[in-house]
Structure 1
């Protein structure tokens, strides 16, 4: 999961599932339906971030992540059982990489939630959207994947958009703006590890390790600091955890009808949905520089998808 990824939260989870679920399905190609399902999952992920922004004001981040991972673990076990055997899902050719990946995933989600305490949804997602380009650079450096001039140009465009949003030296830079960038870097590393591990381990194994060790790690932190939620907060926590699973199931179903390459550009609608929610729910109006920078980040990401060399 994105992401829990999501993502799950993880908006972050969305891209993960897109990469991890590239196994072809025996379904009739219906790309329009796949796109609709993908857009719906992006809307849910953005709504989750809105709920998280409300909850992190009064509840510990570790507690929110912990509840999401508990439900994620149930989902992962059910998925493994449907694939044949939970025990088989525990067998990995890269157990230490799996555990490292799971811990990075937890940290990335927690960082994103912390960032929502200080930044608006549009700004968070505009900066976080640079993670595909970070993944591109890391895949070239760590996995030896061929990048090519056009993709380096795409990365330059995207990173220039990030600098426009940050505006270092212009007197408006906030240290809090580094939080979504750190989260994006964590998710980029997570994706690179996923590519490496997925060469040998099944998707069910990836899910099992991420959910199991992620839930174990965050429980050690979240349980001692548990704060009893109000009935409304408890309801929102339940919605946050359950909709993460729903969004990921929608994304998996989308991949039955459309290829990952077809759906990837639509992952950027997460930024659009998050910006609209930020405006309508929290009254957050992104400034011109944020909009310009976000547009460049998206252009760079889309160009990287299309570029072959």
Structure 2
């Protein structure tokens, strides 16, 4: 199964990271809003945590697992995921356990909540989220803090696109999600301002206006070419500003943002769109890694919708 399956009614296999706190409840609410099919709830607690009044260091694995399973069962039932498969895990590296579960479960999507350090109503990606995102075998969805209190089924989606190598899976994932959710999708291309070096003292030596017009024209052409090969119902929008700034602002107007992340050697690079969204988005965000390969099924799905 794949999030890019041509049949939009095919259920999604979703792994939800549940930590027993608000972030876990937000993740469960987002999984439900996205219409999760067979869900695997991974409850990962460090070995030195107290769970349901039990000292995890002083009890057997069976007792710890039973306590975690009870918490997961209650959480699943409370979010309409009564048929969810439960996977209580005690691990000093929660991200490793979540990624391993996604691989073994052949997950289409991982869903996580915001770090507790995040402000209410905003997304803040903590260390576990960063590590999961770096190693995930599939797209990762993040719910902002407090999402469980006002969760809605996404009806307005935005996909950030820049046309670079590795960006195609963003469009494919966004189109597939829009189909599944019967949602409106807008592809956004950002037209970034010129570097400060060209706007300052050096401006007199170059044709700043000419460069700006060329840049805008190139972005307009990119958007037009992109829309030509997408289903006719997909809208396009050219926005002035850096991609990160544009997408964070639009997150206040829509229900879900889909964005790409390019591979880094060790961690997310600061200042990129996915990193900025992970620290300030007002709505859920789905991050698609460049390694999310397009399949023949994906191409057929997009072509059939044109």
Q: Structure 1 length as normaliser, TM-score?
A: 0.26
Higher strand proportion: 2
The structure number with the bigger radius of gyration is 2
Higher helix proportion: 1
Tell which has more relative contact order, 1 or 2 (C-alpha 8 A, sep 6+). 1
